[in-house]
Structure 1
């Protein structure tokens, strides 16, 4: 495999370039994402590290044709929590496709901790987002009262012991008329410390 160096000084096709290309997208084109692209991203997602190999992640793909269920779930959650119902309904329709992500922790192994299951599910989400970015598809992980509501859990039939929602991922091609928010320059010196070095 050959690589070239782009104007940022990064090797084209490198992981660093991909990680920088993955951004939170808030505006999408009214254009469907091919199922093959989503299936590849899901296959990449489940390659995430997972202690005890329990595969706690669950992905529920909500297409344009089934979107009204998500709209109704968001509306019901908004009513219950005193939020703007119309705005909640719009959030459910912002992207051409949504993926509800849940964690179903293993219950039959006392050595498995919930924290590890959550970490594995979060790692699977990152794999999914990066795979979409590699295919030129935008995404946004949404969390909070609507995305993690019991109404959404009921919509996808999430009723296994200990199961809980991680969020809802918006998926679609970015509408370039809305600029991306500036990403702050990483301050590695503030978040990384090498132990044992002067």
Structure 2
């Protein structure tokens, strides 16, 4: 199968436009995303800030040829939790590429704080999602019991001390037959407070 070429690549965008462009995508074309597009997005991901330069993030790219392994991991987790196995298996097929993201905190530096390692990993995820959006590629960060399960950790060989899966990112070209609803208007006054001098 040859790599799909987006017939309508996005125009260059300012950061503000790019932040608006990045949306959670729930329906994808059954087309592969070129490896170099994923690699460029990952190169942006690892530019995220982190304390002590520990680089706690890890990314495991599961292509459509190997997603049956993610499907098996989801099925195993669903059986263990007595959840709908078929529905769990479908999650592995929602997008042509899945990227398992993990946080591997540094253990040998007493100055390193776990939550800061997790914050850094979250920042890397946001960089990754924005870089994908810049390339016209959709994404969806999935979390919860299936995505963060021991079965998924075992699939990617995550056995470092203190390591954990933080989510699985669906990656693919958005399905134009399933348009994304408009972004709700942001009410900054509900979430921002300015602390001024008296």
For the aligned pair, the TM-score class normalised by the smaller chain equals over 0.9
Partner of 1:100: 100
Give the TM-score of the pair, scaled to structure 1.
0.92
2-side partners of 1:162 and 1:42: how far apart? 23
1-side partners of 2:174 and 2:144: how far apart? 23
Shift of 1:65: 1.0
Q: Aligned with 1:64: secondary structure?
A: coil
Give the TM-score of the pair, scaled to structure 2.
0.92
Partner of 1:196: 196
Root mean square deviation of aligned Cα: 1.3
List runs of 5+ in structure 1 lacking aligned partners: 1-11
Per-residue CA deviation, residues 83-139 of structure 1 (Å, 9 max, x unaligned), is 111111111110000000000000011111001000000000000000000000000
Partner of 2:74: 74
2-side partners of 1:47 and 1:187: how far apart? 29
Per-residue CA deviation, residues 140-183 of structure 1 (Å, 9 max, x unaligned), is 00000110000000000000000011100000000011121342
Partner of 1:21: 21
Partner of 2:171: 171
User: Any residues of structure 2 matched to 1:38-187 within 5 Å, and which?
Assistant: 38-187=38-187
2-side partners of 1:103 and 1:129: how far apart? 17
2-side partners of 1:163 and 1:49: how far apart? 19
- After TM superposition, the structure 1 stretch with the greater mean CA deviation from structure 2, 181-190 or 61-70, is 181-190
Aligned length: 188
